Structure formats: C-alpha cells, structure tokens
Structure 1
Amino acid sequence: MIAQDVIDQSRSAPSPDSSGRTASTWHSQMPDDKEMLRAAVELTRDIADARAAIYWPDMLGSATLGYAALAGAILLDNPLAALACGLLASLALYRALLFIHELTHIHKDALPGFRFAWNLLVGIPLLIPSFMYEGVHTQHHARTRYGTIDDPEYMPLALMKPWSLPVFALTAILLPPALLVRSAVLVPLGVIVPPVRKLVWERASALSINPQYRRRKPEGAFARMVFWQELGSSVWAIGLVAASFLYGWRPLVIALCVVSLTAFLNQVRTLVAHLWENDGEAMTVTAQYLDSVNVPPPALLSPLWAPVGLRYHALHHLLPSMPYHALGECHRRLTAHLGQDSTYTRASYKGLMPLLTRLTRSTLQAK
C-alpha cells in the first residue's frame, strides 16, 4: 500500500511541455528526486504495519488522562490546580483527537474496532466524529490536488497579509462552540429543512481550511457511517445543553474552554505543517515534500505540539500510509542512507518558533 502510494505519485508528476518549459512556479519546476522516493519505499517496507499494541494503549491512555484532568478542572476549587488540570486536559485530549489523522490512512482492516472505539470515546464526545476528516484529508494527499484550489487543507498563507496569521490561529478558539451549535441545532434542523442539511454538509462537515471547499454528498457505506456518527453527536450535544439548563453552565463552559485551547494548539501546528508557499499550481511529489515540514530530534517540545507522528509531516507526505509509531525509524533510516546534504534533510527544521518566524517574514514580504 505504501509503496504504491509513492509509485503512483511519482508516475503522475508533471512533465515539461513540447518547448521544454515547465509551469511558472519553482514548485512545479522542481524535478522529482527519484533516489529519495525509491529509498522511502524500499527502506521502510518492514515497519509499515500498524501495531495494535501501540495504537490502543496510546489512544485509550490519552483519552483517559484527558477526561480525568478535565474533571479536575471542573471540580477543583483551587484556581491554580484547576488551571493546571485544564492545561493537562488540553494536551492529552489533543493527542487523543489527533488519532483521527491515523484513521484516514490506516487500512480499514488493520485495527479491528479502533475506529468505532475512537468515535465512541473521543470523536463523538468532542463533537468531531471521524467522518469530518475521512474522505477529506485524502484529497490533500492527491498529487494533482495538493496546494491547488481543490485542496481542502491548503491556503497560500506565506503569500497572504501578516494579519491573516493571527486571525487564522485565533478563529480556532470558536470551533468548539460552533460544533456544539452544529450538532445540537443545525443537524436536527436539517432533518426537516433540506436546504439547511445541504448547507451544513457542504460547508460545515469537514475539517478543512480552504474557504472555497465544498463537500460532496456522501454515498453508500460511508453515508451510513455518517448517519450514525451524526446521530450520536447530535444526541450527545443536545444532552449537554439540556444538562446545562438543569444543573448549570459552568461544567460546559470549562469544557469548551479546554477544547478551545486544544483547537488553538492544532491550528498553530497547522501553521507550521507546511511552508504554504505554493500559489495554486500542481506540484511534483518532491516539491510537495519540500513545502512540508519535519521537526525531528533534537527538538524536545515537538511531540507536545505535533503529537501522533505529526512532527514528521513532510515524511508523512512521502509515505502517507506509514503508521505514526514507525515514522521516527523511517526518518533515521532515510537520513543515514541519503546523507545530511540530501533533498530529504532540506525539509527538517529546528522547532516551532523558527518556522513561525519564517512564515511571518514571508507574509511581510508578500505583495
């Protein structure tokens, strides 16, 4: 599966036209590094299987810690202790939530029951069921879509105005209350008002950042999965609102604040997941890789702000189906094989702040 991912991408890379010219940006002009693509496939075949013994304890432990810390944030009277619990809950739930990324890539038969358990324990309680990412994120990995207007997860942030960066990050804080309104009000309303249902599905049912993205109507087995996940989310959301009317709003407000911090952390991570320098043209696989970011060791804090393997985001674009627990070993093997002066190492950066600084400078230079 992983080998085929890379091979298919490489075969579909754009070629020069009859005059020998390529498209206008440095991204599309960049030829593929065949040695890197070949090494990525050949050196990692033996570690390409998702290991249940890692996935299950990691997800369950993160969720358990997150909910326990959230209970502390709600129940403790000491403000500092409650604040500390809230911060811990945000980080733990952040890690638990990001398993949604793994669900979009692992084979459906790789981890029996994992998708159901994740939705039951994490996705539905936090009002982000897996359908919001499944069928969307894979479009971001399509060779002909990445970085174009058809990519749901790409905006040329480096080419936009400086004020767009804080606005982009801070709008994430509104996501949890918006999701509550979506599941408690808009989805039930859409059952009796078809235009509302169509609008909610197209515009508010995908974890995308491209404002021009419109989601297509679900079909077949996926549509059935969407129905049950929507039903679970709506019942849960309505129950939360009803309980708040009966017992007070403080627990819900605290929970929304905790999840808002989680959403903000993810939005900051998104800011540095790519360089965001493409202006909309199709890119070669190597160009896509170099427009993406790895933050490998010795960066110490990257597992906190880019957990579940997302510190190796550029490598993930080379090997989309590689399980998160194998990416560190993949990185070590490719670095050792290709060398420190290779194309592969050009996607590695020292940490969050250097990447944010680079992005900010790019926006200051944008016209």
Structure 2
Amino acid sequence: MPALQSIDAVPGAPEALARVQLSAIPDDKPMLRAAAELTRDIARARPEIYWPDMIGSALVGYAALAGTILVDNVWLALALGVLSVLTLYRALLFIHEISHMHRDALPGFRTAWNALVGVPMLTPSFMYEGVHPLHHARTRYGTGEDPEYLPLALMKPWSLPVFLLVALLAPPALVIRFAILTPLGLLIPPLRTLTWERFSSLAINPAFRRRPAEGEMKRRFLIQELACSAWAIALIGSIFAFGWRPLLIALGVASAVAVFNQLRTLVAHLWENDGEAMTVTAQYLDSVNVPPPGIMAGLWAPVGLRYHALHHMLPSLPYHSLGEAHRRIAARLGSDSTLQRADHKGMMPLVVRIARSTMGRH
C-alpha cells in the first residue's frame, strides 16, 4: 500500500493526511475483511435499546422545553434549556439511523419517530431518507454529487463561521418552508418542484438538487410533509393564543440544536477531498472517530456518531454496536493499523485542524 506508507512516513500521520491525495489511497482489504467478519453477530438493531432511547430522549426534551417556557427563574430556565437542547438533539439524530434502517428492522419505529420527533421539530424522515444514502455511495462520496460534502478544509477561512451561523436560521426557515411553501406548492406546480429540489433535504452541498420521490415513498413522504405543514401553521397560529414568547423560546432551543448539529457536522469529516471518487478506506480516513476515554463526544456526537468513520466502513451497523465493533477490530489489527488513523481526541483539535487548513491555503 504505497499511499498509506507515504502517510506513515510523515510524523503525526493523521494531521498530515492531506499531503496524500485521498483518491490515490487504495483499500486496506485486511481491515475491511476484519470489520465484516467481526461484526456479523452484532448487526441486528435491538428494539429494547432503540425504543427507550428515542422515546426517553424526546420526552425529557419536551418536558425540559416546557419548563424553559414556564419557569420564572432565569438560571433554572437556562439549565432546562440546555437539557432540552441536549436531549432533543439526541432524539433528532435518530433520523440518521432511520435513513440506514431496513424497512423490516424495527416495525413502527419510523412512524413513531416522525410523530414524536420529526413532525414536531419540522424535520421529518423524508428529509434524510433517499438523500443520506447518496453520501455513502462508493462513487459519490466527496464528489460534486454528494449532498453532504463540502471541501471545507480547502475553502476560504470565512466559510467556517458562515457554515455554522447559517444553522441559526434553519428553524424559522423550516416554519416558512412548511407553513407557506408547501400549501402554495399544491397550487403552483413550479414552486412545488423548486421546493422539493432545493428545500426538502438535509444537504450542505448547495449544488445538490433532489429528484422526485417515486412509488410507496412518494405517498409516505407526502403524508409527512402535510403533517409538518399543519403543525407549522399551528405554530404560527399559537402566537394569537399564547403570544410570541413560547414560540420564540422554542425556536431558540431548535436553533441551538441546529447549530450544535452543524458543529458536529463540521468535525464529522476532515473535508480534504478534491472532488475525485475514493475507495472505502480513503472515505474512512477522511472521516472521524472520537472513541473513549473522552466522554464529551457522547454529548456532541450521540447515537453512535462518535464513530462516524467506522460508520462509513459499516453503514448498516446499528449505533449501539459501533463501540463494540471498534474495540474488536482494534484488538484484531493492533495499534499501528489503518483503523487507528481515523481516531481523534476531541472536537476542538479537529476544529483547529480544519481552520488551519483553510488559512494555510489562502
């Protein structure tokens, strides 16, 4: 593996990854084979983990949000607001699991999640289903056809704060999208087409255009969209019954969730690909694991996303199995393996690395 050897020859290999063109890195077949062999017995989604985790996170999040709105003590309201952000963020990230889930894996889970989380937070599962799998496609990852990839490390320094701050606008934008654009789109077909192509995906690539849904997915997605439209209109109507304060607080919490998720997205990859197609191993090395002993990653990258690189190697593995999978593969391959080159210590070193990369190129 000459490309990987050239990485090894540079002190501090992970930080020097950009010196090797990612598209030139071949697959580490022993690692991929070990990953497949060692995880076969933990590949089943366990309902006794999924259901309590999702429902408990959502209920605690809504209870804390209600407390944030209702209590008079500023510090208590702030503490409840933080709790609401963390738990609703965790509940929301099950959309990632749903996008990879086989339709027969957890009967009723997708519907329950949409009713409890997706519709109330105006982020139904259709915004990820049929979109996120494109990010894992062998020939799309890191290219212009990837809806979830921007070469942020190769862009100008101002792109990073813009990337984060734009997330603040996501909740009010979703209210407008569902309360106004959805009803108008039913009357104006060109607007409907534009809304679907541009404003119906959790994508960060501004060039991405979503194709029309087909078959059973079209009917299911329409039901989700109409439910979100009704809820968004009800949120606007709540102003007349309860005033502005409850809605503004809820939107503030939702904006904090969106920014938190955008910050996680910023450090989910190294964003160093130049647009060429890559091997699975190259995709893995352009992605990030933040394994224990650190505990903070469990808060900012919950539901298995602290093992984002491993997830790109094993996209169908359920979130509750990723930690065990990482331990098994590491034990098999040893400390000097390709597996370890995607392991990082935490969020801030990754933010600094990406920021330095942008400044060093301009």
Structure 1 length as normaliser, TM-score?
Answer: 0.93
| Other-structure match for 1:40 | 35
Query: Take 1:354 and 1:188, find their aligned partners in 2: how far apart are those partners?
Result: 45
Query: Take 1:230 and 1:342, find their aligned partners in 2: how far apart are those partners?
Result: 46
Aligned pair partner of 1:165 in 144, 160, 166: 160
Query: Take 1:343 and 1:243, find their aligned partners in 2: how far apart are those partners?
Result: 54
Query: Take 2:45 and 2:339, find their aligned partners in 1: how far apart are those partners?
Result: 24
Opposite residue 273 of structure 2, the aligned amino acid is N
Query: Take 1:152 and 1:167, find their aligned partners in 2: how far apart are those partners?
Result: 18
The alignment status of 1:87 with 2:82, answered yes or no, reads: yes
Would you say how many aligned residue pairs link Structure 1 and Structure 2? 344
SS in structure 1 at match of 2:250: helix
Aligned pair partner of 2:179 in 176, 179, 184: 184
Deviations 1:192-214 (A, max 9, x none): 01111111000000000000000
The alignment status of 1:132 with 2:143, answered yes or no, reads: no
SS in structure 1 at match of 2:27: coil
SS in structure 1 at match of 2:218: helix
SS in structure 2 at match of 1:162: coil
SS in structure 2 at match of 1:222: helix
The alignment status of 1:156 with 2:131, answered yes or no, reads: no
Structure 1 regions of 5+ residues with no counterpart?
Answer: 1-23
The alignment status of 1:332 with 2:332, answered yes or no, reads: no
Deviations 1:205-239 (A, max 9, x none): 00000000000011110000111001100011111
SS in structure 1 at match of 2:55: helix
| Other-structure match for 1:197 | 192
Structure 2 regions of 5+ residues with no counterpart?
Answer: 1-18
Query: Take 1:147 and 1:258, find their aligned partners in 2: how far apart are those partners?
Result: 31
Query: Take 1:51 and 1:299, find their aligned partners in 2: how far apart are those partners?
Result: 25
Query: Take 2:20 and 2:260, find their aligned partners in 1: how far apart are those partners?
Result: 31
Aligned pair partner of 1:243 in 234, 238, 247: 238
Query: Take 2:333 and 2:108, find their aligned partners in 1: how far apart are those partners?
Result: 38
> Contact (CA 8 Å) 2:23, 2:273: kept in 1 or not?
no
SS in structure 1 at match of 2:100: coil
Percent of residue pairs bearing the same amino acid type: 68
> Contact (CA 8 Å) 1:28, 1:281: kept in 2 or not?
yes
Aligned pair partner of 2:224 in 229, 235, 242: 229
Query: Take 2:79 and 2:184, find their aligned partners in 1: how far apart are those partners?
Result: 38
Q: What is the CA-CA distance between 1:31 and the residue it aligns to? A: 1.1
The alignment status of 1:294 with 2:289, answered yes or no, reads: yes
Q: What is the CA-CA distance between 1:247 and the residue it aligns to? A: 2.2
Opposite residue 161 of structure 1, the aligned amino acid is K
The alignment status of 1:279 with 2:262, answered yes or no, reads: no
Deviations 1:259-310 (A, max 9, x none): 1000000000000000000010001111000000000001110010000000
Query: Take 2:161 and 2:143, find their aligned partners in 1: how far apart are those partners?
Result: 23
Query: Take 2:56 and 2:76, find their aligned partners in 1: how far apart are those partners?
Result: 21
Opposite residue 315 of structure 2, the aligned amino acid is P
| Other-structure match for 1:6 | none
Aligned pair partner of 2:255 in 251, 255, 260: 260
Deviations 1:141-179 (A, max 9, x none): 000000000000000000001111011011101000000
| Other-structure match for 1:70 | 65
| Other-structure match for 1:51 | 46
Deviations 1:74-101 (A, max 9, x none): 0001111111111110100000000000
The alignment status of 1:349 with 2:349, answered yes or no, reads: no
| Other-structure match for 1:218 | 213
Opposite residue 203 of structure 1, the aligned amino acid is R
| Other-structure match for 2:137 | 142
Query: Take 1:80 and 1:349, find their aligned partners in 2: how far apart are those partners?
Result: 34
| Other-structure match for 2:358 | 363
Query: Take 1:96 and 1:366, find their aligned partners in 2: how far apart are those partners?
Result: 38
Query: Take 1:337 and 1:358, find their aligned partners in 2: how far apart are those partners?
Result: 29
Query: Take 1:207 and 1:57, find their aligned partners in 2: how far apart are those partners?
Result: 25
Q: What is the CA-CA distance between 1:245 and the residue it aligns to? A: 2.0
Q: What is the CA-CA distance between 1:43 and the residue it aligns to? A: 0.6
Q: What is the CA-CA distance between 1:25 and the residue it aligns to? A: 6.7
Opposite residue 317 of structure 2, the aligned amino acid is M
Segments of 4+ in structure 1 off by > 6 A? none
